[in-house]
Amino acid sequence: MKCKSFKLFTEKIIIFLILFIFQFSSLVASDCDKDIAICLWTEKVSIVKTQNITASAVKLSDKFYVTNKHVVEDNLFVTLFDIKGSFLKAKVLQNNHPADLVILSVDNKNNHNQTINLHEVTKNYNGLRSVAFGIGRQTIRIFPQGNLISIPSSNYKQARIHSTIKNLPGISGGALINKKGQLVGILTSGSGNYNEAIPVDILNEVIKSTNSRKNIYNDRYVNIRICAQAIEIMNKNISQLSQFDFINAENACNFANLKTFYDILGQIYGNFGDFNKSLLFLKKSSKLDPKSPTSLISLAVAYQFNRDFKNQAIVLKKLIKLIPQDVLVLRMAIQSAAFSDDIDFARKSLILIKKYNNSAFDQAYNFLKQTFPNI
């Protein structure tokens, strides 16, 4: 009896502390000097918490929110905290859509037969900002403005909007908005320099494919959890894993079938020195999202370490169209042009070096001069 009372007391203290932290943090977030249409988004985005993950969720209506599948994993319920510290229990309404999106319901009456409002689709990507959980400030915040890199074709169901929006842990499931305060995407992942978000028109497809009565797609969600756990272990001590462990991890990640996981697996294997496995998973990722700088940069690096400069040049030619200002991409382009004996690519890369990184031009020119005396 004493143990039970202590447990209840402890739970109350924890809830009080959580509420206090979020209420204190909300004072920081409310100091908003930006456009009102943008500021209002701090009230439309919530913090979503599971046992293992803290991320973001976007409010679609009074009853429904959206976040990423890789956030909820196979949890059937999650907890939502808004900027004022209020919290709600939300049910996960699974779907069979390929995209990394899932609907959450806070309908206490379990009346999930009601229609989820389809969100307006806009193609205005000017003045992109993200609104999401900021791990540093521990609250919902508006991140600095970034620039659009690419938007996906509707044929690619896991392809993303790519931008230079700041990418930090916790923003998954947050809102990507334009300068008018319109929702254009749901944040999902990316590298440190480049952000990825799923476009709103895909969100509408996900809503239509959501099963509102019962969860019948749980196998994929279980594999998302298993894959995420395997990735965490591989990041810590990959050299200690057995061949059996690798096979189980790869099988789970293939069943999970999420672009983000393929990117991470490719990077892990690349760091480990297994470039064939690295290329295998990065190619899968690039096939799902052909305009992803995150995937393509990792792929170019893997080709370089594998000394496959012909294929590296093919990847880099795509990258210099997407992110011509990227210093790493330009450096690899100069080397790849020389080692693949591609003078046209060398000339194009030199022009971009001159424009975006002029201090490195002389060094790049002298390097290429050794291979192409007439450049």
Give the model confidence (pLDDT) of 111-135 as tens digits: 554 556 666 778 899 999 999 998 8
**Residues lower than pLDDT 50 in the chain:** 1-31, 113
pLDDT of amino acid 344: 97
pLDDT of amino acid 333: 98
Cα–Cα distances in Å, from 135 out to 57, 98, 100, 167, 341?
A: 14, 28, 21, 11, 46
- Do 151 and 68 share a domain, yes or no? yes
- Do 190 and 242 share a domain, yes or no? no
Task: List phi, psi (to 5°) of 310.
Answer: -65, -50
Boundary residue ending a domain (200, 215, 230): 215
Interatomic CA distance for residues 287 and 283, integer angstroms: 6
pLDDT of amino acid 30: 40
Alpha helices, H only, the chain? 2-30, 36-39, 69-72, 200-209, 218-237, 243-256, 259-272, 275-288, 293-305, 309-322, 327-339, 343-356, 361-371
Boundary residue ending a domain (147, 182, 215): 215
- Do 68 and 207 share a domain, yes or no? yes
3 state SS of 149: strand
Tell me the residue range of the domain where 336 lies.
Answer: 218-371
Interatomic CA distance for residues 262 and 282, integer angstroms: 6
pLDDT of amino acid 240: 82
Q: pTM to 2 decimals?
A: 0.86
Boundary residue ending a domain (184, 200, 215): 215
CA dihedral (336, 339, 342, 346) positive or negative: positive
Interatomic CA distance for residues 360 and 318, integer angstroms: 22
Say if residues 202 and 232 touch (Cβ distance below 8 Å).
Answer: no
pLDDT of amino acid 348: 97
Cα–Cα distances in Å, from 79 out to 50, 52, 87, 153, 328?
A: 7, 12, 7, 34, 40
Q: DSSP character for 210?
A: B
- Do 181 and 231 share a domain, yes or no? no
- Do 211 and 226 share a domain, yes or no? no
pLDDT of amino acid 154: 83
Select from 199, 191, 192 the least CA-distant residue to 161.
199
- Do 204 and 239 share a domain, yes or no? no
pLDDT of amino acid 212: 60
